[in-house]
Amino acid sequence: MKAGEDGTYIRRLIPYHRVLHVFVQLSFFGLVSTGMPLKYSDAPWASWIMRFWGGYQNAGLIHRICASVTLGYFAAHLLFLIYYIGFVRKFRFDFFGPDSMVPRPKDFRDIYGSFQWFMGLSPRPRFDRWTYWEKFDYWAVFWGVGIIGGSGLLLWFKGFFGQFLPGYIFNIAIIVHGEEALLAAAFIFTIHFFNTHLRPEKFPMDTVMFTGRLSLEEFRRERPLEYKRLEESGELDKYRAKSPSGALLCISIPYGVFLLLFGFFLLVLILLGQFVY
């Protein structure tokens, strides 16, 4: 397999999703690193980070800009869903099919099968296009943006909401906002990082989210059902692609490694804030 050779790779993600994911990443890191000094204000690192941002006013501004980006990509994704399901699939989208993110009975069978495989009781379950942990990540973002975004908007526009909602709604909002953010950050920096990048098969990182492409061999091994389905329907050739260019990898690998390390750094601070101080 030579670099740039045609057909040795498979296209898994369209550029629209890859770009949206970069927005997800950047806004997420911005939100976490400006929000956590408040939640863990008793930790000594909190005031260092606040000083790094140039005061809580600046950190608040960055937090709100990143929040706007978050709501932006959320809206962009909803628009995509309408476009894809309505215009591309003409409303004949199978919500419980392999291309859908909606959980289906097979996902629960796969969870069971995975635990059996972990314990050496059976071979690995054969996955289709989206595995159960990928669906979990997807819905976690949905739920997270809804919960953190909703409570965040409430706190952002407190003057407006305070006109007709009782003030203790802000007390509830800040608990929900902070704890859900803790869940999201700690989840991304441990479970998501492991599931997608750090497990031995992928270590140190999986570049598919940046390049959109996966080698045919890996594709066949990781998504056997999808491979078989595409091969049988003859659609496989439709998704064949060139291997990702060196330039793209030169950008995406350092970027990805940087975010991994940055995530671990924030994780250490969160753990210190949660358990030490």
Partner 1 sequence: MRALTGGSAARRGIIVLWVMIVSLLPGLSLAASQSYCLSCHGQKGFSGGYVDQKRYEKSVHGIRPCTGCHLDVVSYPHPKKVAEVDCSVCHLAGTFGAPTQPARQYWLSVHGQAVREGVRNAPICQTCHGSHYILPPSNQQSRVNRKNIPHLCSGCHEYEYEQYMKSIHARTFFQMHDEKAAVCYDCHEEHRVPNVTQPRWELWVVRECGSCHRRELLTYRDTIHGEISRLGYTTVARCPDCHGSHDILPPSNPESTLYKGPNRVRTCRQCHPTATVSFTEYYAHPNMHDRARYPLLYYTHLFMSILIFGVFSFFSVHTFLWAYRSVKERHKTREEK
> Please, which residues bridge with residue 9 across strands?
215, 241
**Burial class for 200, CB neighbours closer than 10 Å (0-12, 13-18, 19+):** exposed
Query: Rule CB under 8 A: is residue 176 a binding residue for partner 1?
Result: yes
Exactly one of 26, 62, 102, 191 binds partner 1 (CB under 8 A); that residue is: 191
Does the protein bind partner 1 through residue 236 (CB under 8 A)? no
User: Which residue in the set 10, 31, 32, 46 belongs to the binding site for partner 1 (CB under 8 A)?
Assistant: 46
Measure CA 236 to chain center.
26
Q: Is 58 in the site for partner 1 (CB under 8 A)?
A: no
Q: What letter does residue 188 receive in the DSSP assignment?
A: I
Cα–Cα dist 248/235, whole Å:
26
In order of 54, 95, 173, 255, the CA distances from 152 in angstroms are: 22, 31, 7, 28
Instruction: Tell me if 53 sits within 8 A of 62, measured CB to CB.
Output: yes
Exactly one of 23, 52, 84, 117 binds partner 1 (CB under 8 A); that residue is: 117
Closest approach of Cβ 263 to partner 1, in Å? 15
Question: Using CB under 8 A, which of 195, 228, 262, 272 touches partner 1?
Answer: 195
Distance in angstroms (rounded) separating the CA atoms of residues 257 and 263: 10
Structure tokens at 265: 């750094």
Q: In whole angstroms, how close is the CB of 171 to partner 1 at the nearest point?
A: 5
159 binds partner 1 (CB under 8 A): yes
Q: Which two tokens stand for residue 234?
A: 């003859």
What string of H, E and C letters represents the secondary structure of 54-89? CCHHHHHHHHHHHHHHHHHHHHHHHHHHHHHHHHHC
Q: Which is nearer to partner 1, 195 or 215 (CB)?
A: 195
Among 19, 171, 235, 264, binds partner 1 (CB under 8 A): 171
Binder among 32, 34, 37, 207 for partner 1 (CB under 8 A): 37
CB of 227 to partner 1, least distance (A): 19
Q: Does 50 bind partner 1 (CB under 8 A)?
A: yes
Q: Which range touches partner 1 (CB under 8 A), out of 20-28, 153-161, 238-246, 252-260?
A: 153-161
Of the listed pieces 69-77, 185-193, 219-227, 239-247, which binds partner 1 according to CB under 8 A? Answer: 185-193
Taking Cα atoms as reference points, which of 242, 185, 248 lies closest to residue 25? 185
Could you give the 3-state DSSP secondary structure of residue 93?
A: coil
Residue of 95, 112, 139, 160 interacting with partner 1 (CB under 8 A): 160
Residue appearing with tokens 């999703």: 17
- Contact between 6 and partner 1 per CB under 8 A: no
Site of interaction with partner 1 (CB under 8 A): 37-39, 41-42, 46-47, 50, 55-56, 114-115, 117-120, 133, 158-160, 162-168, 170-172, 174-176, 179-180, 182-183, 186-187, 190-191, 194-195, 199-201
